[in-house]
Structure 1
């Protein structure tokens, strides 16, 4: 069965839109150089943030179930984009950095793999655009 999702944006001035997503307001705009007022992040950058949120939530929940204690997780996404219009992303690289004491790399790798291959819907959607690769960095403290 399909589930319909709706997000509504209202113009709040010049090129800025205020969105309400799940009861949370967010403003999206463009840079001053592109004619906006820089009141919020750019739409395509939010796609990358969505990828971080999706896979980050998955990984944390999976590690919690595995009883793996993590002091911190930082996730970065690097995307390659075309220079001509429409400027689109063509590939994505996710860098997971885990900090903690005596971290179990096998469990971390399993959690990331499950997110990347099974659970993260944003990863699955972005794979329709281009390759999504990843790497894992462990920082034992």
Structure 2
């Protein structure tokens, strides 16, 4: 299991992300008070979805020994608020490269929707926060 540790100091809004032996910086754009030293948290969330979909497609094509040369995924999100709820629309545009027939392309595309991150985001999520003393 991954150990993920997030730390933020007084530097607005530069945040260190430590995932096992990997480190990255998250931040906010200058126009909202950040220093733009890294992607904003929502972009990291979208990148988690995109990378998971791409890896799942790659694994499936490799298992089938299909000639998938590359996967390109463009993601965007939009939040729509109403008086009763907030809905987030995530759009994923997928482009598959390689000498694939239409049946192979469609199957690879559909398998991408079964990636673990999409399953998490598509089902109810309960976040339990606890404060250590």
Number of aligned residues: 120
**SS of alignment partner, residue 71 of structure 1:** strand
The answer (yes or no) to whether the contact 1:19–1:26 under 8 Å persists in 2 is yes
List gaps (5 residues or longer) in structure 2.
125-133
The structure showing larger relative contact order (alpha-carbon pairs under 8 Å, at least 6 residues apart) is 1
TM-score of the two chains, using structure 1 as the length reference: 0.74
Counterpart in 2 of 1:112? 109
Equivalent of residue 45 in structure 1, options 21, 43, 50: 43
List gaps (5 residues or longer) in structure 1.
130-141
The answer (yes or no) to whether the contact 2:73–2:94 under 8 Å persists in 1 is yes
**Worse-matched range after superposition: 36-45 or 15-24:** 15-24
Q: Does 1:7 align with 2:12?
A: no
Counterpart in 1 of 2:118? 123
Counterpart in 2 of 1:66? 64
Moved over 4 A (4+): none
* C-alpha separation in 1, matches of 2:106 and 2:112: 10
Cα gap change, 1:34 to 1:53, in 2 (>3 Å) = same
